[in-house]
Each structure stands twice: as structure tokens, then as C-alpha cells.
Amino acid sequence: MAKEESALKVIIVLVLIAFFSAFLLAYVNKVTSGPIEANKKAETKKAIGIVLGDLKDYTFPENPEETEIDNSPVKYFLAKSSDSSIVGYAIVVKGPNGFSSDFDMMVGLDVNGKIIDTYVLDHKETPGLGDGMKNEGFKKQFRGRTLDNTKWSVKKDGGDIDALTAATITSRAFTHGVYRALLLYKKLKEESNV
């Protein structure tokens, strides 16, 4: 081991190791990419099922439409009934400036722009404080609200939303996320009327 190896041997060995590991990874990627994709789809489907609540017999496209609200990317699924009229919207928005980072959430609206339910997709909020935004007690106050019948900020800031105890920042982000979804609904409505 103490002997100095030739540069050529060093290069060959490293290249061979890298080559084999790339080959192995390509194979693993090929095997796992299908299930991973399926898991992500199942996750989206589950979320849509939750945020659209009692709506039944609707279909939604495989891939969401994308647009921008409030300088933030937004994706949405249009849920349509069998006669292809819109029955609801499942909107994926970013809750901006959460306690740790932005988080992804989904908001379900019915055809009149009333909130059916909300679902947090991916977040890094504090367990026990901020992740209370997933709890029934916090979520239920959003149901049935629309863009116009509510002041969309937490009570501390003069709005109508009860913030979570010790998690005002998360609550603000969540509220703003919901607000963005409602803005998107308004935009879509205006576009379809023109």
C-alpha cells in the first residue's frame, strides 16, 4: 500500500468504480421510477379526494394546468362531471413564508368558489405547533368561506381567521395560500366570462 501507484492505475480504477456505480444506478432508477410515479399520482388523487369532499362522479385530468397568481406558480385540476361541466377546482398553491419555508397545500373549491376543504401536501413546519394546520379544529373554519365573505388574514392582523396557538406565522402562510387559491378562482371566472 505504501508504494506510490502510477497515475494511470489511479485513473482507471476511479473510472471503473464510477462506471459501475452509474450502471447500477441507471438500473435501479429504471426499476423504481414506475412505482415512484405511481406513488406521486396516488398522493395527488388522495389529496383531490379529500379537498373535494362530498363531490361525486367527477373526473380530473392526469396533469394539472399551470399558471401564476401573486407571482407564485399555481397548479390546478378542473374536476368535471360526466357531461363535462365543471363541478369543482382542486388548486395546488404555495403557502408563502411559513415558519421554516414555503409549503405546498391543496385547496378544493366548488363551482361557486366556496371552499370545500384544504389539505397540506408537503411542509416543514414545527411538529406540534405549525403542523396543527392539518388538524380538524383549524381546517374547519375555512369550509364554506369565499373570497368576498371573509377578510383573508388572521385575527391578529385584523382579519377573520383564528390563528393556531403559538403558530401565527404558519397560520398567516396558510391563510395566504388559501387566499391565492381564491384569487385563481376569480381569475378563471373572469377569463371564462370574457
Partner 1 sequence: MNLIEKFKKTFFIENPVTGLLLGLCPTLAVTSSAENGIGMGLATTFVLVGSNLVVSILKNVIPNRVRIPAFIVVIATFVTIVDMGLQATFFELHKTLGLFIPLIVVNCIILGRAEAFASKNGVWDSFIDGFANGLGFTFALFILGSIREIFGSGAILGFKFWPEEYRTILVFVLAPGAFLTLGFMLVGMNKISKVLQGDK
Q: Is 46 in the site for partner 1 (CB under 8 A)?
A: no
Within residues 171-190, the interface with partner 1 by CB under 8 A covers: none
Show the cell assigned to 33.
421510477
Q: Is 25 in the site for partner 1 (CB under 8 A)?
A: yes
Pick the binder of partner 1 from 43, 65, 66, 68 (CB under 8 A).
43
Within residues 113-142, the interface with partner 1 by CB under 8 A covers: 122, 124, 126-129
* Residues facing 153 on adjacent strands: none
- Residue position matching grid coordinates 378563471: 188
Alpha-carbon gap, residue 174 to 97, rounded angstroms: 9
In the complex with partner 1, the residue whose CB is nearer, 150 or 171, is 171
Judged by DSSP in three states, 184 sits in helix
CB 117 within 8 A of CB 144: no
Identify which of 104, 82, 101 has the alpha carbon closest to the alpha carbon of residue 91. Answer: 104
Pick the binder of partner 1 from 21, 59, 67, 141 (CB under 8 A).
21
User: How many residues does this entry show for the chain?
Assistant: 194
For residue 169, the minimal CB distance to partner 1 (Å) is 15
- Residue position matching grid coordinates 485513473: 11
The residue ranges that bind partner 1 (CB under 8 A) are 1-2, 4-5, 9-10, 13-14, 17-18, 21, 24-25, 28-29, 31-36, 39-40, 43, 122, 124, 126-129
